[in-house]
């Protein structure tokens, strides 16, 4: 039993080596090996097994030389590394059986010294708890290392931090889940190992201290509490800042100061480690959670406890369900669902610029396909074999386009998790307690869309926490659970991704909104307006109904910016609310900004593309439906509503086929919260077009958002309805 921990560490190291994909050791695997060797040295020193300390030290030297590619013979180095692990297994097994090892390790030590050029001595490892030599990350030491290794560490490190943040938030919802603790422990462990390789002492030291803290938690020496969660998040934030400092330094950019007292943070971690499970308040039980959430009463809980203790014994959740006091869903929510285990997949890092180049080339291929199709349609007696081959070419092109677009699709999960962290921090600052529910995290969206949609979504989340959710006292008075709820939900609908942000707060007061709109002169009357139309008024400039201004919101700016940001991305926003019950913001965005479904229309000799998301309907207006209204100009009566008429040929200076509206086609489009009719000569049809930028010189042209190469090789301008409305108003 004395050598069990030592044997386990050596066997784990052997297993990690066995499952390497090749005889190459990269940064992530080297970090794992270094951590394993460190544990072996520590345990071997405790048991006074000098041979194992010497061998592990030699393996460490080989490992460093292999990673930095300074071994004269990499194959020999890998073989020596393997034989060293096998020798350690032999020594540990002999000690377990006989209590002593009498073999000779000198040949191995000599071979290692000859290979690395470094003689092996049994040294005492540096004390892990010692404070770092200075307050700033020692990024300058990284400059002496292989820059490619440092860049790999930065990329891996930032991914590890994201992984830590995700799982620490999951752990906060389910403190007893050991899987979450292990999932947080492993990234810190990996960061520590690689940072040690690269001589990044402060990063290694902080990661090690946080790792120790989590080790105590997973061994039940510490209880997971909100202060512990805060401490780990603070530590992860500091690690992220250090890694970003390192990134700035190797890219020769100014390095921002850390502005963090590392000694104070280390002291907080040490103080937390001193707290045992007995010193921490007991965690809430399942029954208490259900009582606090208003699902059951204290009497229900007392009765269920008695039932649960009656033979055959039951769990409290089962007893409550059997008694009809709670539903399985309510018990499940109280227990918190365990997150789905991450599925390992073979992945390959690709520079995003290369990926974008690939998408652009596929777009060119699709355009060429359209041109070929256009030419073939004009041939009467085309060769049958040629037509068959080209049909196959079209199928392959379409499949290639779908596949290449999927390459750029990533789950919305990371965006949701970033917002979860934001919700948590905002709620804490506001003194509110919030339960966060994420649904549809695996729903995919174009990588280029992620950053674009983040800001408008963040503002809606801020409003949900600040204005939507009541304080715990107000919720209790309203008969609600003290802990509020915010749900982020994503799903695909048609060619769009729909993101819903819901809260169970106070809801929107439509009378208050309408009164503010009337006083601001936004509307002259609210008669005939639906609830939805009144709710949408909060998206207008300066129409905040907040009772007070806070650091988060309430100044009457922001929601109009949210609306503009959403519509700029060809998206739409809807609002559903019920007073006292909560509010839901429903936003829909196209899955990608690279391709657009559009309607091709002809004006004179020019062809334009109108995004189908903006089109309400098309019609040829009757002569009686056309009129001129004083102060409004030309209008068309569309189903009882007078809509302004926009003559595209006048805006763009084109000679049209038809001057009279009743001879042409009116396309009813929406934008800026209202609709107008665009007058065109003909509708050619619907098409999926690849969006092309017009370049820096033409990017700010009002009414035009981009261009597309059509099947006949001509350029079709993609119209921006909001810009057209603005142009029409200036006439």
Asked if 609 and 689 touch (Cβ cutoff 8 Å), the reply is yes
Q: Which residues contact 515 (CB under 8 A, 6 or more apart)?
A: none
Q: Is 46 left (phi over 0), alpha (psi -120 to 50) or beta?
A: alpha
How many angstroms separate the CA atoms of 30 and 543, rounded? 57
Asked if 509 and 516 touch (Cβ cutoff 8 Å), the reply is no
368-376 LR contacts (CB < 8 Å, sep 24+): 369/393, 369/394, 369/397, 370/709, 370/710, 370/711, 371/711, 371/712, 371/713, 373/711, 374/711, 374/712
Preceding peptide of 588 cis, ω within 30°? no
What is the torsional sign of CA 577, 580, 581, 587? positive
DSSP string, 92-122: HHHHHHHS------HHHHHHHHHHHS-----
Asked if 599 and 615 touch (Cβ cutoff 8 Å), the reply is yes
Element (DSSP H or E) covering residue 234: helix 226-250
- β-pair partners for 666: 619, 679
Per residue, what are the HEC states of 140-187?
HHHHHCCHHHHHHHHHHHHHHHHHHHHHHHHHHHCCCCHHHHHHHHHH
How many angstroms separate the CA atoms of 558 and 560, rounded? 5
- Distance spanning both ends of the chain, measured CA to CA: 90
DSSP string, 494-513: TTEEEEEEEE-SS---HHHH
| Helix, strand, or coil (residue 81) | helix
326-329 LR contacts (CB < 8 Å, sep 24+): 326/290, 326/295, 326/296
The vertex-668 CA angle with 666 and 669, nearest 5°, equals 135
DSSP string, 256-312: PP----HHHHHHHHHHHHH--GGGSPPPPPHHHHHHHTTSS-HHHHHHHHHHHHSSS
Asked if 240 and 299 touch (Cβ cutoff 8 Å), the reply is no
DSSP string, 448-486: HHHHHHHHHHHHHHHHIIIIISPPHHHHHHTT--SSEEE
Asked if 356 and 405 touch (Cβ cutoff 8 Å), the reply is no
Residues with a catalytic annotation lie at 189, 211, 463
Q: Which residues contact 16 (CB under 8 A, 6 or more apart)?
A: 29, 32, 33, 36
């Amino acid at each position: 039993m004395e050598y069990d921990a030592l044997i386990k560490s050596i066997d784990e190291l052997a297993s990690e080596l066995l499952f390497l994909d090749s005889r190459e050791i990269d940064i992530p695997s080297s970090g794992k090996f270094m951590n394993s060797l460190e544990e072996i040295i520590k345990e071997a020193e405790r048991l006074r097994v000098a041979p194992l300390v010497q061998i592990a030290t030699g393996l460490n030297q080989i490992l460093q030389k292999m990673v930095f590619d300074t071994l004269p013979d990499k194959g020999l180095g890998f073989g020596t590394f393997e034989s060293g692990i096998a020798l350690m297994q032999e020594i540990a097994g002999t000690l377990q059986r006989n209590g002593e090892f009498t073999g000779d390790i000198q040949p191995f030590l000599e071979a290692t010294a000859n290979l690395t050029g470094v003689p092996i001595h049994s040294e005492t490892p540096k004390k892990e708890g010692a404070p770092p030599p200075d307050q700033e990350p020692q990024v300058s030491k990284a400059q002496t290392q292989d820059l490619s290794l440092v860049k790999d560490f930065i990329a891996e490190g930032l991914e590890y931090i994201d992984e830590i943040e995700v799982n620490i938030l999951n752990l906060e919802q389910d403190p007893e889940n050991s899987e979450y603790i292990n999932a947080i422990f492993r990234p810190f462990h990996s960061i520590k190992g690689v940072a040690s390789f690269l001589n990044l002492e402060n990063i290694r030291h902080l990661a090690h201290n946080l790792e120790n803290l989590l080790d105590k938690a997973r061994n039940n020496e510490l209880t997971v509490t909100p202060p512990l969660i805060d401490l780990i998040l603070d530590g992860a934030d500091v690690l992220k800042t250090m890694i970003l400092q390192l990134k700035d330094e190797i890219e020769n950019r100014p390095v921002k100061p850390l502005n963090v007292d590392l000694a104070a943070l280390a002291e907080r971690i040490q103080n937390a480690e001193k707290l045992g499970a007995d010193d921490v308040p007991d965690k809430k039980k399942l029954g208490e959670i259900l009582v606090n959430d208003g699902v059951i009463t204290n009497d229900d809980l007392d009765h269920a406890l008695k039932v649960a203790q009656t033979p055959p014994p039951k769990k409290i959740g089962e007893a409550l369900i059997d008694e009809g006091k709670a539903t399985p869903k309510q018990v499940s929510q109280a227990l918190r669902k365990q997150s789905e285990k991450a599925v390992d997949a073979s992945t390959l890092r690709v520079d995003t610029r290369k990926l974008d180049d690939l998408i652009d080339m596929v777009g060119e291929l699709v355009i060429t396909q359209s041109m070929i199709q256009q030419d073939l349609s004009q041939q009467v007696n085309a060769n049958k074999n040629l037509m068959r081959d080209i049909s196959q070419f079209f199928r392959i092109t379409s499949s290639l386009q779908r596949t290449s677009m999927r390459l750029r699709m990533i789950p919305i999960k990371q965006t949701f998790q970033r917002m979860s962290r934001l919700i948590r921090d905002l709620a804490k600052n506001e003194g509110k307690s919030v339960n966060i529910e994420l649904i549809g995290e695996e729903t995919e969206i174009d990588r280029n869309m992620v950053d674009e949609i983040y800001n408008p979504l963040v503002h809606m989340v801020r409003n949900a926490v600040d204005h939507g959710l009541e304080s715990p006292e107000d919720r209790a008075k309203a008969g609600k659970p003290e802990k509020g709820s915010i749900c982020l939900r994503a799903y695909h609908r048609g060619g769009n991704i729909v993101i819903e942000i819901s809260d169970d707060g106070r809801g929107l007061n439509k009378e208050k909104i309408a009164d503010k709109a009337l006083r601001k002169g936004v509307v002259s009357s609210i008669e005939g307006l639906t609830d939805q139309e009144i709710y949408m008024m909060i998206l207008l400039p300066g129409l905040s109904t907040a009772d007070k201004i806070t650091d988060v919101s309430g100044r009457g700016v922001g929601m109009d910016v949210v609306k503009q940001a959403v519509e700029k991305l060809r998206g739409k926003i809807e609002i559903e609310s019920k007073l006292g019950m909560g509010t839901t913001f429903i936003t829909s965005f196209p899955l990608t900004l690279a391709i657009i479904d559009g309607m091709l229309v002809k004006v004179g000799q020019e062809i334009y593309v109108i995004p189908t998301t903006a089109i309400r309907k098309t019609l040829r207006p009757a002569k009686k439906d056309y009129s001129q209204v004083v102060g409004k100009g030309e209008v068309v009566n569309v189903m009882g509503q007078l809509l302004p008429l926009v003559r595209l040929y006048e805006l763009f200076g084109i000679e049209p086929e038809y001057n009279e509206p009743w001879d042409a086609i009116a396309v009813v489009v929406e934008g800026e919260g209202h609709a107008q009719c665009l007058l065109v000569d003909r509708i050619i049809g619907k098409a999926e077009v690849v969006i092309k930028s017009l370049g820096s010189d033409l990017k700010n042209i009002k009414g035009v958002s981009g261009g597309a190469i059509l099947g006949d090789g001509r350029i079709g301008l993609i119209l921006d309805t909001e810009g057209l409305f603005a142009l029409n108003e200036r006439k």
